[in-house]
Structure 1
Amino acid sequence: MRKYVMLALGPVLALAACGENAGWNPNYSAMHNGSDYAEYYQQREAALHGTGAVPQVIPVQLPAEAPELGQPQRKVVPATVAVIPTNARPVTAGGAYPGSTPVLVRYAHQERQNPGTTTYRRTGGSVAAAARSCSGYSSADHAQRAFIAAGGPILDPRGMDPDGDGYVCGWDPRPLR
């Protein structure tokens, strides 16, 4: 029985004898190479054990992203941001655009085409079916919000946008722009 216990525990004890952070994993070997991250790691461990100060900066090493000598730097292009006038009021149900919601305002700024301009390909669906669908909503704003929530304008599962302009039930985005 003792022989079987030693056979089972032998590999575990052998691995334990190797020591922490010693092995083939390059992430572990970096802890002992004098890099900025190795210094941070040692400071962090000391702080966790209560024998040192908490490090204030975590260095990030991304060797795959590091430029090489003579290689041009990648230019970071900021994302396009909608410019909101400084005199604009917050958008609420009774705010700058009465009756509208932030979802509709954002959608109006996102979709730049005017009503009637076919932008999305539609198959099937008719104006009569769209009119029947629209009659179930109390307003064009409610219908447009439901259209967006159902996957519009890419999807039109209810057939509310037969002309493919991205706007349903007579909703017009131009006043919100």
Structure 2
Amino acid sequence: MRGWWVISMLALAGCGEHQGLNPNYRFGATPYGEYLAARETALTRGSDPAQIIPIALPAKAPTAEEIAGVSPVPVPPTMGVATRRLVARKPASQAAARGLPVTSTGPYPGSTPVLVRYAFAAGHAPGTAIHARPQGSAARAAAACARYAGTDAAQMAFLAAGGPRLDPLGLDPDGDGFVCGWDPAPFRTAQP
């Protein structure tokens, strides 16, 4: 019985036209509603419908100044778009504020490289077991390390695969978070 009541209420709700807030698109006694009725009649009879769609005011088009960007249109903060008046913040300001060294060369000048950031975040010495690796094997790690061009490449791959918490590549059998003989000490000093 209750199911029929819900179905009947949904059917009644679906019978009404959309009555939104925009006066341009109401079907009632508006110029647009009359246009829709005339268009339906023309289409069912096989004649050409009207080519001009009426709108009800207020309809506001952007001005030439708004289009040119002189007076920016307000953007909701959730869209992630900044206006021209905002100045981009340098990414180095956060890293420098935390005492991390930043680089002035390479593809991202003013940033802190991933290995430098990790070396500072992991303050322990190599060989100190931090994570349990019950399935770790030194032979498997040596074979896996041989696939990389160097220790930096292996450490980057380890971090990209979920390290140091996870070790799906089998590079960290002792659980210290440093793989294939990678030493964090040179990265803990100031970078050029």
TM-score normalised according to structure 1 size? 0.50
Instruction: Determine which structure has more spread, i.e. the larger CA radius of gyration.
Output: 2
